[in-house]
Amino acid sequence: MADILSQDEVDVLLNAVSSGEMDVKSADSQDQFQPAGETVFYDFRRPERVSKEQLKGLQTLFDAFARELNIVLPSFLRSVVRVDLNSIDQLTYDEFILSVSRPTSLAAIDMAPLEGNAVIEINAGLAFPIVDRILGGKGLSLAKPRELTEIEDRILHRVIEMMLQCWQRSWQQLIEFDLTITNQESDPLIMQIVAGSEMVILVGYHMYIGELMGTINVCIPLVVLNPILDQISQQAHYKRRMAADASRDTRAQIASRLKRVRAPMDVILGHATLSLGDVVELQAGDVITLDTDVNEPIPVQIKGHTCFLAKSGRRRDHSAIQITDLVTERGHNE
């Protein structure tokens, strides 16, 4: 870092420039920065701190979170419930707060053992149907959303606690969370867990209760996730490698078992048309003339589908065929 010039030093430099003792152009040319390699645009207002590898790891973890919710919530809400991961975005906390509609249900989550809080937001179009179902209703939404009452807040508090248990189970191979609710609000402007310029990961879910659809958002500041981001990317890489190995082993096992499967094969030597009288008079030793040439390939069928072409012959004392071509699904020979 260069030293800061005093006012006297600044005055001396300005006098030198005005009197011509110092050439500004030559000084500038000496101090020009010569970039090495390709230049890349970087927006310091929106720093992208999460790599693609880390995003893939986060997607795997939050997919597991959705699967846990799909197991727990249907029995609790006594309805068909489906939770789908919709998006994972990076943005500032201010952008998240401004995107949240009011009124809504927001819960600040202590991310222990990580330092800091996250936010779970359940929009009003989903919060009121959940409360209605828990209280014995049909899960109807309100025509005009309003502020949640204290009783409704307590009911949603229990639902969010169940969600936190699902979150803990889905991430337990990475970290043993002790997630707790520290605060609940309905106005997003009051829910300030970090500075507005801080980058956050925003995870969006679509939740279906019967024919009704609403959204759930999980907002986690990057400063909270930073201690485990490397572990997340390593786990994602390890799981993909394990999945690839398992896929190869599975294919090998399937191929091995298919080779031992017995399938009935029909060899079509040809066709002939006989009257019923000719059929009745057939005797041992009679010869029937077929409509195929002896040099033509013979179709070999499995379950009525021609799979191979062959030629006829004998092997020791038995009639036999020799496979000559493989017939593909499009009817081409190989």
208 and 71 fall within a common domain? yes
Domains in the chain: how many in total? 2
Identify the three-state secondary structure at position 186. Answer: coil
What CATH code is carried by the domain that includes residue 164?
3.40.1550.10
Q: pTM of this prediction?
A: 0.59
300 and 215 fall within a common domain? no
Q: Could you check whether the bond before residue 113 is cis, i.e. omega within 30 degrees of 0?
A: yes
187 and 329 fall within a common domain? no
Identify the three-state secondary structure at position 269. Answer: coil
119 and 198 fall within a common domain? yes
In a domain, 181, yes or no: yes
In a domain, 98, yes or no: yes
304 and 233 fall within a common domain? no
183 and 222 fall within a common domain? yes
- Residue 249, sorted as left (phi over 0), alpha (psi -120 to 50) or beta, turns out to be alpha
Please tell me the predicted confidence (pLDDT) of residue 27. 47
**What CA–CA distance (Å, rounded) separates 83 from 72?**
11
269 and 198 fall within a common domain? no
Q: Where are the alpha helices (DSSP H) in the chain?
A: 7-19, 24-31, 52-77, 93-99, 124-134, 150-170, 222-225, 229-259, 276-280
In a domain, 212, yes or no: yes
Single out the residue of 265, 331, 273 nearest to residue 304, CA to CA. Answer: 265
**Cβ–Cβ contacts within 10 Å for residue 217, how many?**
21
pLDDT at 23 over 70: no
In a domain, 19, yes or no: no
CA atoms 295, 301, 306, 307: torsion sign: negative
Tens digits of residue pLDDT in 76-123: 888 899 999 999 999 999 999 999 988 899 999 999 999 999 999 999
306 and 196 fall within a common domain? no
In a domain, 101, yes or no: yes
Whether residue 106 contacts residue 188, with contact meaning beta carbons closer than 8 Å, is answered with: yes
184 and 317 fall within a common domain? no
In a domain, 21, yes or no: no
In a domain, 122, yes or no: yes
For the chain, report the end-to-end CA distance as a whole number of angstroms. 72
299 and 159 fall within a common domain? no
In a domain, 23, yes or no: no
181 and 300 fall within a common domain? no
Tens digits of residue pLDDT in 278-300: 888 888 888 888 888 878 888 98
pLDDT at 31 over 60: no
178 and 218 fall within a common domain? yes
**What CA–CA distance (Å, rounded) separates 170 from 65?**
5
Overall residue count recorded for the chain in this entry: 334
Identify the three-state secondary structure at position 142. Answer: coil
Domain that holds residue 306: 264-273+289-334
